[in-house]
Structure 1
């Protein structure tokens, strides 16, 4: 239980920290390319999706990724779009109370996947406007790949302002 609460706090901190002043098609491209470069090192077939306001701005599948990855992305994105939290946050919260998404929220796991990999695009003083999602690794690795890539992108922006 305590480990899950610590994880929830870490994810909450990530969601507070990893917010954007703005998010454009160019932002999506740059973050998508960062994810690709990080994923090449892992040599695993993943799929990447970046969607803002229901517009798919970036999508890439490595050779060997399966059509199932797209379905996982869709279902993880549904979680973020419903709860305005990362999919790992919702999944961890459900584990903490020992309930499924069906039991707690009366929604289908065929449509909602509370597993790591979808992170909200949060615009400061606006809120959640989209998702950055990875599928193909373990749920923790999917989540961490997205988080690390957003951090790298935001650091690049910060360094360019100096």
Structure 2
């Protein structure tokens, strides 16, 4: 593992441990998603935003410049979170840091699963992972950072 890969993996694991919410429901999904959409709109980001609780999509927004292809990526990344209980970036980074390729080493259909940044677990303290917040449309590290930034602000507002 290179020093850079180790540092990124360490940072992502710390984010996953930090971003544990006291609660999260459909109303929270709408409020968080709306904040994310407003920030993305203001910045002119060509992204799709999706929030799910369990298997139900409870928020979805597509901004100018995004496409149906972003929806496919959103779902592939979200499947990784649901399967591993970790961020899609963290899962992918773990495979890369170990010198392995997710698409071949995971033995999962790469048409259904993408361990690329942008999907993050919604974890409730004392409960576990209950959903996923995800974006698609930027480079993977930027997708991941956008979600982390907004989850961190959300956590600060409800803590």
TM-score, normalization by structure 2: 0.95
How do 1:41-60 residues align onto structure 2 when only pairs under 5 Å count?
41-60=42-61
How do 1:28-43 residues align onto structure 2 when only pairs under 5 Å count?
28-43=29-44
**Is contact 2:87–2:117 with CA below 8 Å preserved after alignment?**
yes
For 2:145, the equivalent position in structure 1 comes to 144
For 1:119, the equivalent position in structure 2 comes to 120
For 2:17, the equivalent position in structure 1 comes to 16
Please tell me the root mean square deviation across aligned C-alpha atoms, in Å.
Answer: 1.1
- Equivalents in 2 of 1:87, 1:93: separation in Å? 10
After superposition, what is the alpha-carbon deviation per residue over 1:9-65, rounded to whole angstroms, capped at 9, x for unaligned?
A: 111111111111111111101111121122123312110000011111100001231
State the 1:126 CA deviation: 1.3
**Is contact 1:30–1:153 with CA below 8 Å preserved after alignment?**
no
For 1:154, the equivalent position in structure 2 comes to 155
The runs of 5 or more residues in structure 1 that have no matched partner are: none
**Is contact 1:101–1:108 with CA below 8 Å preserved after alignment?**
no
**Is contact 2:96–2:102 with CA below 8 Å preserved after alignment?**
no
Aligned residue for 2:21, secondary structure, equals coil
Which region of structure 1 is more displaced relative to structure 2, 100-109 or 46-55? 100-109
**Is contact 1:88–1:117 with CA below 8 Å preserved after alignment?**
yes
Aligned residue for 1:98, secondary structure, equals coil
State the 1:135 CA deviation: 0.3
Q: Give 4+ residue runs of structure 1 displaced > 4 Å after superposition.
A: none
